[in-house]
Amino acid sequence: MESEQNETGVLAGDERMLIDGELRHTASGATFDVIHPASEQVAGVATDGTVADMEAAVGAARRAFDAGDWSRDVEFRRHCLMQLHEALDRNKERLRRILITEVGCPVTVTGSQIEAPIHEVAHWAEFGAAFDYLRYNGVHETPLGPAKRVLRYEPHGVVGAITPWNVPLYLNVAETVPALMAGNTVVLKPAQLTPWSGTELGRIVAEETDIPAGVFNVVVSNANEVGAALTADPRVDMITFTGSTATGRAILAAAAPTVKKTLLELGGKSAHIVLDDADLGSAMPLAAMMACVMSGQSCVLPSRILLPRSRYEEGIEGLKQMMENFPVGDPWTPGVMQGPQISETQRQKVLGLIRDGIDDGARLVTGGGIPGNLPVGYYTQPTLLVDVDPNSRIAQEEIFGPVLTVTPYDTDDEAVAIANNSIYGLSGEVSSADVDRAFAIAARMRTGNVSINGKSHFGINSPFGGTGQSGLGYRNGTHGYEEYLHIKTIGMPE
């Protein structure tokens, strides 16, 4: 196990990739630095994989699928994934410290990034073991006589998984474990900024499970062309990706020549419609908290608050109070709930969008810069912009920072129109004392998911996916599992 530790709690992950059952460095020995966002210091390195490494990993996955028994042995897959579940649980405190080191996620809010994915491994192992892969579809009359039809659910083959940096361990698991349990082999390409959440997963698979060589591979690299090689490789049958809409478009284009299946969870610019009968005393603090937890680096964040003009100033005051008192600081400190942005590049993007919003006429109520008490680390103040034009850049572009925009409206119809004025459609929220009224509004929002009065739509048993340019397909639930399977219809005599 290759790692480094110092007295601050910073912990580096394994440097090596996993290719065809072997933990290895790239042939040249090249590495790239991994920066701890809270200190701006190099915390360690990861091997800098190449296109040749990716080609080797894809070749291993292809051989493992075509020549091995993985796709045919459901009970063995369950056995291996339950081993993985137990191994992740044994390693969870190491994984937590690595996560804080490379992401800057506060220790207080790591549960959704550590415990949740560990639970999901066991869930998919049991779900896949109980799944009905062969289903009778009735007897049908044909010109040649009755035909019995059977539906057979089969794995696609080799799945390439490309994951982002905001919740890396969770998404590494969410994009690979159901694919594995469905009988596919997998090549994982983690984000450049967070390679260790991928390499540690590879190490655990190699050292603590019976998953055969080639079934699960991890290739890390600081070069974009390595991920592009995975997407374009004709030996890959499916790509699953979470990240920006711009990158999603590029993946679709690269996958087009081979017409491979793509599962995409892309950007969001979700609206929170606060109706005039809402309990602002609970809705506004929760909205502000959601904007700041994880430093606003969440695709489902309802970052556009739509307030009725009759309660506009009241709602703004509630948001302001919460954001000005939100605990921001060192992610290693218990009680802190907002850490740094992932990088200086990301922080400057957030600050630039805030400046653009002000230039476009938005009023800055609080925040807007770098916290004076946190000169080191990529920190951004919780920021509230009001009087925001719904057509302005700040209202249309995903920010991925601790920023809320507020826009007034006069009627329910106007609120729905503003909410739907977006290329995205990932998530949304409605607050109202009248649940039936809120449900009617939710039904009119062009988005894949909606929460009413803070009740989360997200869960392992419920399909999650976007409309518009927020993605294609679903994760979670039966719908999410079936994304990793194709249906073969077999006609046969009665």
Would you please indicate which residues are annotated as catalytic (active-site) residues? 265, 299
Calculate the CA 62 to chain-centre distance: 26
| Residue pair 328/374 in contact by the 8 Å Cβ criterion | yes
The pairing of strands 383-386 and 485-492 is: unpaired
- Half-sphere CA count of 155, side-chain side, radius 13 A: 27
Q: Give the Cα separation of 148 and 220 in Å (integer).
A: 48
